[in-house]
Structure 1
Amino acid sequence: MSRGTDMFRIALLMACTACATDAVAAQEPSPVRAGARSSPAVVDQPRPFGYVVGDLVTQRVLLNFEPAALPPGQRVSIWFERRPPRIEKTSDGHRWLVIDYQLINAPPELATVQLPAWEIKDKTHGAQLKIPATPISIAPLISNASGAELRPDRNVSTIDTAPSRASVVLWSIALGITLVVWLAWFQWRNWRDSHNRPFARALHDLRHLDETAPEAWQAVHRAFDQTAGRVLQIETLPTLFEHAPHLQPQRAEIERFFAQSNERFFGAGPPSNLVSVRALCQELRRIERRQAP
């Protein structure tokens, strides 16, 4: 009896020991493969708004390893179809995985959808990069929406216009002064021309004289002498046209004036058809003004 009891106790002890061993084994962590590790990726996400059906949404992922496989081109959601990706190398030596998503559906009103998350595996170490989902705002082609999902307007900074207004005032004053100076110079030049030019002075004298008076003829003679630079007679008229060839259009009238003047002062007296010295002087003054520098 006692021997049977001992055997029962031994069997019970062995059973308890086995149960304890199984419990300890259950509490120990199971080994994890290196390929199961994952880390966040450096992602250049697309802008989050301003898309309509047919647009391309580009996502760029920085690659620090050789990928085991590139994500295939396929439809990834009701909104997007992924095109075959490509790897681009920048000038700084970095490699970027570039993926284009084409928007293939148009919402009935402005909506925000998710560009899906995905992963890419390291070919050598088995580590994975996690590319997170990103929200994209898409708009319908024709919308009657109230705009509840529109982004708020950007605050516009005010521009200080005081310097611009001061510059406008300053340059306006400078322009006004320039115009006044130019007008004053123009008036002064005309005044000087009217007092210094020979036929201008003669025409000024004729305003106060009878054109048939000897003084009127003498005033025109002085104008001819000053233009030629010497005292003129009918015999020396060619000298006048050598010094003032611009008077050639009136040569016939000038010769007629000198012939009548010679007859009037040194001959039988004034002829019956006297030259109008005022009209002649006015025409010569117009020629003189056109010739002035």
Structure 2
Amino acid sequence: MTHSSAIVGSSWLLGLMLALAIGVTPARAADIDVAVKNPRAYGHVVGDRLTRGVRFTLPDGYRLERTSLPGQGKLNYWLDLVALSFDALDERGGRVEATFVYQLFYAPLQAGRRELPSFTVRAVGPDDDVIEARVPGFAFTMSPLIELQSEAEFGSQDNDIMLPDERPGLRDVAAPRRTALISVVIAWVAVLAWAWISDRLPGYKRGPFALAAARLKRLRRGTEPATPSALRVLHRAFDATAGRAVFAEDLDGFVAAHPAFADLRDEIDTFFAFSRRFFFVGVESNGDRRHTLTELQRLAEQCRRREARA
């Protein structure tokens, strides 16, 4: 061994012993790369939601530890974390996309500064070694919901910081009022018509033949044979007009007491004769066949007009 070779060997051995004595510092693992996409930094009001996207780029073999992230719920008196979602959370290495949705619960009286809190995340490596990265906070401006007087001084007792309430606009009520009036008129007309038809109108009393004509009209709309009922209706009208039962032999006295019906004497005689044959004989002649409901109603209408003029 030459002298130079001995010197080189001694130097290498000395360096090895020195490294063992002081320890060799291992190479530092790569850090977590954090990229943040923030919402706008101004114009937020109470109730707004702020969406913040964070991309974590992890070294190979490392997994993001979810427990190091902030949990959903109330963060402080004016801020909630209402949603947190991930893309590729369990992927070892590569990128992990996280979306944070915050909601504001604060109504300032004037524009002011607020800040989403920062937090630290951890990632665990294949040998259980841990690396960390800090996600910075985000400052933004909150605005009041009410408009402020530009010349007012905040905190001064001599100035009202808030503008007076705006006077509400007046709605045009002409159309609804007109509709309501028309509805009331229609309802009253319907009530009066019902009262008139049913003879319930106060201060107005329809005569017996007017009631008989209305009842005969209803009988005509029915499907059952109605000739007996129609005959009885007309008989009751004559009885009510005379104030007693009227028979065929009493017609002279009836006409004398109620001369308005004198011009209908022949029609009334024919009606009483037909009624007697119908109820007591039960045989109709050819001349009797014209006494249908239509004919009976026509006689009732003629008598109604006479009693109205009486």
Q: More strand by proportion, 1 or 2?
A: 2
TM range (shorter): 0.3 to 0.5
Task: Report the TM-score when normalising by structure 2.
Answer: 0.32
